Amino acid sequence: MATGSGLDAQLGVKDEVTVGTAVTPDHFFEFDNEQLTNQPSYIEGSGIKAGRKFKSVNQAGIARQAANGKVEIPVMMKGFGWWWKHLIGSTANPVQIGTETAYKQIHVPAGLRGVSFTCQIGRPEENTGTVQPYTYNGCKVTDWNLTFADNANTLLDFTVDAFTEVTATGLATASYVTGAQIYNFSHVNNFKIGGTATTASGETTIAGSTAVASVVSSMTITGKNTLETTRYGLGNSGVKKEQLETDFTSITGTFKGEFLQSDFQSIFSGGTTTAIQIDSQGPVIQGSDHYLLSVIMPACKITKAAPYVSGPGLVTVDGEFMVYDPDDGSNPPFQLKYVSTDTVR
């Protein structure tokens, strides 16, 4: 039964075959909030006419179409792999692990040209109980944050840039992955720094790393895709062309925790290149295989690791790091390994 509240809302997406050509969503995700909005560009005439001191409504109109905004979703143990194509351009698909019911996806950065999706938000009306569909075509992700925090669910938030917002497309029927659990702080069972990266058969691992000994209460990994989002031209009725990459991809991170000089300060002070790995392990799937969300960044620089004494309490550190290409011809700058029961991305 319809409630007329946000309880009836839905979010659906689907890969587009042609950038900007809308398709019917077939992947539906639980989400915490969304702020996608229509952002048309209005222009006005400023012609002077005797006896008129206000601008004329007949000379006001929309010159450009656009839509953008943030979305926040919990990181689920099933179905989450779909997003990495649009966050970093990954082309990975699930690969079965041995003969078990566990499948792994190895996501590494690739190009975003030709990569886009249609997003539809169902927004309920209070007065009527009707869920109104808002459909966005030509969607690309311009930036994203993956956050691990104490006493909290693991969250992904991202900003979407789209061609247009349409309200005439019918609401797609939502269908969700069943039995999916959310990763949370208790699942983070491995947080290490240092070591040597090796990539074999398309998968990167770190050997010889050291578990972070200090109490780190949160870490956010941030990605930025520098896209030209204003490719408007004559003959396209004010609708943009595909958003293309125009600068280096950036992945950075921040962390907060208790001060322990041996963990981060020496690496920071020496400008040392270090690997960082953070893993969240869920329940057993089969045998020794668990649900897994694992991030490996083989070549990082700690760019801030300042300890502060702010009173009689514990001395804390606010840290920052930058992810670089190892430039060794073997290892990627960033890898996300996702193990689940998903047979398709």
pLDDT bracket for residue 205 (50, 70, 90): very high
Sort strands 335-340 and 289-308 into parallel, antiparallel or unpaired: antiparallel
**What's residue 243's pLDDT?**
98
In this structure, is residue 95 part of a structural domain? yes
Across the range 55-74, mean pLDDT stands at 96
Instruction: Check residue 4 and give its pLDDT.
Output: 87
Contact of 163 with 128, CB cutoff 8 Å: no
Q: Do the strands 37-38 and 33-34 form a parallel or antiparallel pair, or are they unpaired?
A: unpaired
Q: What is the pLDDT of residue 217?
A: 96
Q: Which residues make Cβ contacts (< 8 Å) with residue 335, sequence separation at least 6?
A: 106, 107, 108, 203, 204, 294, 295, 296, 297
Per the structure, the complete domain to which residue 309 belongs is given by 6-40+61-340
pLDDT at 209 over 80: yes
Per-residue three-class SS string for the chain: CCCCCHHHCEEEEEECCCCCCCCCCCEECCCCEECCEECCEEEECCCCCCCCCCCCHHHEEEEECCEEEEEEEECECCCHHHHHHHHHCCCCCCEECCCCCCEEEEECCCCCCCCCEEEEEEEECCCCCCEEEEEEEEEEEEEEEEEEECCCECEEEEEEEECEEECCCCCCCCCCCCCCCECEHHHEEEEEECCEEEEECCEEEEECCEECCCCEEEEEEEEECCEECCCCCCCCCCCCCCCEECCCCEEEEEEEEECCHHHHHHHHHHCCEEEEEEEEEEEEEECCEEEEEEEEEEEEEEEEEEEECCCCCCCEEEEEEEECCCCCCCCCCCEEEEEECCCCC
- Distance (Å, whole) CA 277 – CA 124: 41
Residue 138 buriedness (CB in 10 A; 0-12 / 13-18 / 19+)? buried
Which of 203, 320, 205 is CA-nearest to residue 253?
320
Q: How far apart are CA 86 and CA 140, in angstroms?
A: 7
The average pLDDT across 203-229 equals: 97
Give the pLDDT confidence score for residue 2 in this predicted structure: 81
Contact indicator for 242, 301 with CB cutoff of 8 Å: no
Task: Calculate mean pLDDT across residues 204-230.
Answer: 97
Does any domain span residue 345? no
* CB 338, CB 105: distance < 8 Å: yes
Say whether pLDDT at 265 is over 90: no
Mean pLDDT of the chain: 96
pLDDT value at 238 more than 70:
yes
What digits encode the pLDDT tens for the residues 82-128?
999 999 999 999 999 999 899 999 999 999 999 999 999 999 999 99
CA-CA distance, 318 to 286, in Å (whole number)?
39
pLDDT exceeds 90 at position 261: no
Q: How far apart are CA 142 and CA 145, in angstroms?
A: 11
Does a structural domain hold residue 51?
A: no
Q: What is the pLDDT of residue 266?
A: 86
Model confidence band, residue 308 (pLDDT cutoffs 50, 70, 90): confident
Summarize pLDDT for 129-175 with one digit per residue, the tens. Answer: 999 999 999 999 999 999 999 999 999 999 999 999 999 999 999 99
Within-domain flag for 22: yes
Rounded CA separation 203/227 (Å): 28
pLDDT band at 262 (very low <50, low <70, confident <90, very high): confident
User: What residues contact 46, with CB distance under 8 A and at least 6 apart?
Assistant: 55
Above 80 in pLDDT, residue 271?
yes
Answering whether pTM is above 0.85, one says yes
HSE value, Cβ hemisphere, 13 Å, CA-based, for 104: 18
Q: Assess if residue 50 is contained within a domain.
A: no
Tell me if 56 is assigned to some domain.
no
pLDDT tens digits, 277-298 = 999 999 999 999 999 999 999 9
pLDDT at 189: 97
What's the number of domains the chain is made of?
A: 1
- Rg of the Cα atoms in the chain: 23
What does the pLDDT read at residue 1? Answer: 58
- pLDDT over 90, % of the chain: 95
48 occurs within a structural domain: no
Please check whether residue 104 lies inside any domain of the structure: yes
Tell me if 160 sits within 8 A of 144, measured CB to CB: no
